[in-house]
A and B are shown apart, each in its own frame.
Chain A
């Protein structure tokens, strides 16, 4: 039985590095998580924006947020879009991941990998705008189908990243074993490959759904005015102050999302984010 080796830092005192790393770590967490605090506070604060200090505890904002019809319809649209986008992202992402690990030779190289991951660096704002112009020039109205397609496309790199670790890890060894035992290609796929990547797929679905749900730039121009996603509704409502109703809504959304993402790796027993 191998003993776990403890972290070096705890074993030997190194002042300089520890100081720097702890300071930076603290700063990073402050920067990254700090802004969530006023949102949470304001959601329970009975005072209106502009009134300084905590006025009193209330959950009124939450009940307003839950009952507003535009929020509710926005939620439904967002869920529909996110669901569709996750499906599209899975389709593209799984195909690309297979291409990168088991496809033709040129697909396993750096160029194709670049294409696959490129949506991360393509400006979503630009594509949203350009697609809108294209569709209006062509006179086509796609409704949320277009939105779903575009969301799915931009989220696919995250799916690829999530499952390519699993695909590569298996290294084809199990597949060779199955084939040597007489299984044909389809059977191998069905009984060996897909089950092996299933946990990663599960995690990928949740990640894709979440990323689509919270997306703003793509929905900005492409969401039809009759069917706006929840973030767009929130954005259009947003004036230059922290509206408590929005804050309450944000808190309501944040809890399931955070929970899902934080424990995704533990639930599915797979490393997709890290």
Chain B
């Protein structure tokens, strides 16, 4: 049994389910990231754990104790908000001290604790300032200190870096990850930023429309997603819809047909779904050059070339002969190499293990079949 367990959580505001039959388990000391777009229910889920939102059904269990009926002030949970929510009329010190119990801890103990936590987040010199005098990053550090001071059992973070500029967010998230790991507190972080998720998470749970679509470790989810949504959301995979046929040839056991091309697969596929999709990362698709070891290639025409710094991103359209719904693919070419210009026809391929067979929820629309998802 996990340290924190959410079972069959359902939240309904009367306009449709916001969280739909959600089950989530987090190990003690683990950093779990809920990843999804705005409105997918991830923030609501967080607030269910905190007790700020009461679900229609479902339970929240921490360390074996069912806290579903506990009000938020009894749950011993820390919460870091998107816009710090520091109390404007209190100093940094007073903010951090806020959650410490006045009755059971006397002043000197509280003071010492506040100082320790402030030092942990690197804000000791700002102890006497008011929140209005802090920058965004500084304020979030204090918010973290405030949440950690009462030694919560679980730490919740609601898009804590979304309101900061990119460079600051990057620096801060590394520091925050370090701090949280050093404290060892079980944490759930909610974000829509996939890089953040990859960097910070032990495990990632991808959410869509109130449900968890898939959850795995960061690397596992990135490299081998099993759902089309996760594949697309994390790593911006190309998702190509099609079908699989069994073959009896010597070199392959099955054949994927879709997107205007055919790819022979060495792996055997068990029960064949009539419709399925494969996901390939843009950086895994290679352009055939002389001396490459491709067993098969697909012909494609370069539609657009984008320079994005470390890489070039090319948008290419498959031009195979059996053209119905030819796929539009995104590929990434790293470094200073010759980039085929717009209009040129190239041959592409990818290693079989870079290709994941992903499950799709609904029958794909026509545009999805064309690989335009």
Q: Which residues of A contact B (CB under 8 A)?
A: 1-6, 8, 11-14
Contacts and interface: CB of A to CB of B under 8 A. Distances in A.
A3 B52 contact: no
Given A3-B13, A3-B18, A4-B13, A11 B39 contact: no
A2 B39 contact: yes
Given A2-B39, A3-B13, A4-B13, A11 B53 contact: yes
B141 interface: no
Nearest to B52: A8
Contact of B39 (A3, A8, A12): A3
Contacts of B53: 5-6, 8, 11
**Which DSSP category, helix, strand, loop or mixed, fits chain B's interface?**
loop
Contacts of B51: 12
Contacts of B47: 5
A2 B15 contact: no
Contacts of B38: 1-2
Contacts of A14: 71
B54 interface: yes
Nearest to B72: A12
Interface of B: 13, 15, 18, 38-39, 41, 44, 47, 51-54, 71-72
Nearest to B69: A13
Contacts of B72: 12
Contact of A12 (B13, B15, B52): B52
B214 to A, nearest CB: 22
A12 B72 CA distance: 9
Given A2-B38, A3-B13, A11 B52 contact: yes
Contacts of B41: 3
Contacts of B44: 3, 5
A232 B336 CA distance: 89
Contacts of A3: 13, 15, 18, 39, 41, 44
15 contacts: A1-B38, A1-B39, A2-B39, A3-B18, A3-B41, A4-B13, A5-B13, A5-B44, A5-B47, A5-B53, A6-B13, A11-B54, A12-B51, A12-B52, A12-B54
A14 B38 CA distance: 30
B15 A4 contact: yes
A110 B351 CA distance: 70
Contacts of B13: 3-6
Contacts of A4: 13, 15
Nearest to B38: A2
A8 B71 CA distance: 11
Nearest to A14: B71
Contacts of B71: 12-14
A145 B54 CA distance: 61
Nearest to A2: B39
Contacts of B15: 3-4
Nearest to A8: B52
Nearest to A1: B39
Contacts of A12: 51-52, 54, 71-72
Contacts of B52: 8, 11-12
B297 to A, nearest CB: 42
A4 B39 CA distance: 9
Contacts of B39: 1-3
Nearest to B41: A3
Q: Lowest 3 A-B CB distances belong to which pairs?
A: A11-B54, A1-B39, A3-B18
A167 to B, nearest CB: 25
A5 B46 CA distance: 13
